């Protein structure tokens, strides 16, 4: 078996798999050079120290360091120092192999080819792979402004507030949205991709993102809402791994809902929008301009919401000129897993039951 095929098999092991395809093998050839891929095969998804990697590969520490650093610098591997020694790990497809090299950037020809390959691979294989995760990998965070605008008081739990979740982080990084870079389907803002703590420090160190303050991060969320972007982050209660600001035309996860018919591809927020017919004047802004998943339609000049399709983002509420929309609690909402580790374990358990 060729080294790239062996690497594909290894990358198919995490909860987010990497289904076999010719497109993915070509992606790997762009991300791992021929003289690097054999060394990459000695890595796992847990950080491994440089000395151990070199010993297993039968090469000098200097040679291993040069190749591993080259891969980490282009976003093909995760890297950090452990007890003062460089350590490296493989990255899953999402978040990782798809996003990081795009954030880093590459020459125009390679970038264009990589975008074509990821699109083909996503459409054929990865959409189904991502949608199969139960619970979903991402969850929607409601607009906090939308929650405040309702007439009824609602209990907002700490994990439901993006601002409070971000406030727990020691480090915050801001990068360009890789989905919009690759998709090129809209002109929404690019500088809206947020990462936290370990992921943030890696991206900052490797010049794929820049460090920002909590105040700046909250401003990014406000600007994203104004642009009609959906806040979506890792589907867990505790510390966030990342927080995206997503459009339905480029984001692979949003497209699960809007193009592929996977209505549970993203976990909704614990809220849904509700209309007040007496206040609604039939302007159509919510249905035509703001709802990212087309859950609202105008019927007899009144907004009608399909509550099964509503993801609870609140974008319709914040721009209703007549205050005819508000957020209400869902009755059947299931809280997210405690942390990313538990989320991954639940996804793996579900996968095994489906096999």
Q: DSSP label at 158?
A: G
Report the predicted TM-score, pTM, of the whole model to 2 decimal places. 0.93
Look at residue 2 in the predicted model and tell me its pLDDT: 87
For residue 152, what pLDDT band results from cuts at 50, 70 and 90? low
List pLDDT tens digits, range 108-140.
999 999 999 999 999 999 999 999 999 999 999
Among 339, 332, 313, CA closest to 244: 313
List pLDDT tens digits, range 265-288.
999 999 999 999 999 999 999 999
Token pair listed for 88: 């490296």
The CA–CA distances, whole Å, from 331 to 5, 269, 271 equal: 47, 12, 9
Please say whether the beta carbons of 202 and 242 come within 8 A.
no
First-to-last C-alpha distance (Å) of the chain: 25
Q: Which residue has the higher pLDDT, 18 or 106?
A: 18
Which residues does 54 contact at the CB level (< 8 Å), separation at least 6?
60, 61, 63, 64, 65
> Taking the alpha carbons of 241, 262, 147, 328 in that order, is the dihedral positive or negative?
negative
- What's the mean pLDDT in 340-347? 94
Among 74, 53, 73, CA closest to 63: 53
- Tell me the three state secondary structure of residue 88: strand
Q: Which value, in Å, is the radius of gyration of the alpha carbons in the chain?
A: 21
| Measured CA angle at 100 (ends 95, 101), to 5 deg | 135
Look at residue 156 in the predicted model and tell me its pLDDT: 77
d(CA 257, CA 267): 11
Among 108, 123, 105, CA closest to 23: 123
Among 209, 205, 171, CA closest to 190: 209
The CA–CA distances, whole Å, from 195 to 64, 91, 228 equal: 28, 15, 20
Q: Which residue has the higher pLDDT, 106 or 62?
A: 62
Q: Given a cut of 80, is residue 27 above it in pLDDT?
A: yes
Residue 296's φ and ψ, nearest 5 degrees, are -120, 135
Q: What is the DSSP string of 243-301?
A: EEEE-TTT-HHHHHHHTS--TTSSB--SEEEEE-TTT-----HIIIII-TT--EEEETT
Helix pair 3-11, 22-31: axis angle to 10 deg:
100
Q: Given a cut of 70, is residue 82 above it in pLDDT?
A: yes
**Arithmetic mean of pLDDT over the chain:** 94
The CA–CA distances, whole Å, from 266 to 97, 149, 239, 309 equal: 20, 25, 18, 11
Q: DSSP label at 160?
A: G
| Measured CA angle at 200 (ends 175, 111), to 5 deg | 40
Look at residue 1 in the predicted model and tell me its pLDDT: 60
Domains of the chain listed by start with CATH number: 3-129 (1.10.10.10), 133-350 (no CATH)
């Amino acid at each position: 078996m060729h080294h790239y095929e062996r690497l594909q098999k290894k990358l198919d092991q995490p909860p987010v798999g990497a289904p076999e395809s010719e497109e993915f093998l070509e992606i790997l050839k762009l991300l791992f050079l021929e003289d690097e891929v054999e060394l990459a095969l000695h890595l796992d998804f847990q950080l491994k120290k440089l000395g151990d990697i070199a010993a297993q590969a039968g090469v000098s520490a200097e040679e291993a360091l040069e190749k591993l650093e080259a891969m980490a610098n282009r976003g093909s591997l995760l890297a950090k120092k452990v007890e003062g020694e460089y350590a490296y790990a493989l990255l899953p497809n999402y978040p990782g192999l798809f996003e990081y090299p795009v954030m880093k950037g590459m020459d125009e020809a390679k970038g264009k080819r990589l975008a074509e390959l990821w699109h083909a691979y996503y459409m054929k294989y990865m959409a189904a792979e991502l949608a199969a995760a139960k619970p979903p990998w991402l969850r929607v965070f409601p607009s906090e402004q939308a929650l405040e605008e309702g007439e009824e008081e609602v209990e907002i739990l700490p994990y439901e507030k993006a601002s409070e979740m971000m406030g727990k982080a020691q480090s915050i990084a801001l990068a360009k949205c890789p989905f919009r870079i690759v998709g090129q389907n809209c002109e929404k803002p690019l500088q809206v991709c947020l990462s936290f703590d370990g992921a943030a420090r890696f991206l900052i160190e490797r010049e794929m993102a820049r460090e920002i303050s909590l105040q700046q991060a909250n401003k990014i969320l406000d600007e994203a809402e104004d642009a009609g972007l959906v806040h979506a982050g890792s589907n867990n209660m505790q510390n966030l791994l990342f927080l995206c600001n997503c459009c339905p035309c480029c984001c692979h996860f949003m497209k699960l809902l809007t193009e592929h018919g996977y209505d549970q591809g993203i976990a909704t927020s614990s809220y849904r929008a509700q209309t007040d017919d007496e206040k609604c004047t039939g302007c159509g802004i919510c249905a035509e301009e703001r709802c990212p998943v087309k859950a609202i339609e105008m019927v007899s000049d009144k907004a009608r919401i399909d509550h099964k399709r509503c993801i609870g983002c609140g974008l319709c509420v914040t721009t209703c000129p007549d205050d005819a929309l508000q957020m209400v609690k869902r009755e059947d909402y299931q809280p997210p897993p405690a942390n990313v580790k538990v989320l991954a374990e639940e996804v793996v358990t579900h996968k095994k039951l489906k096999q």
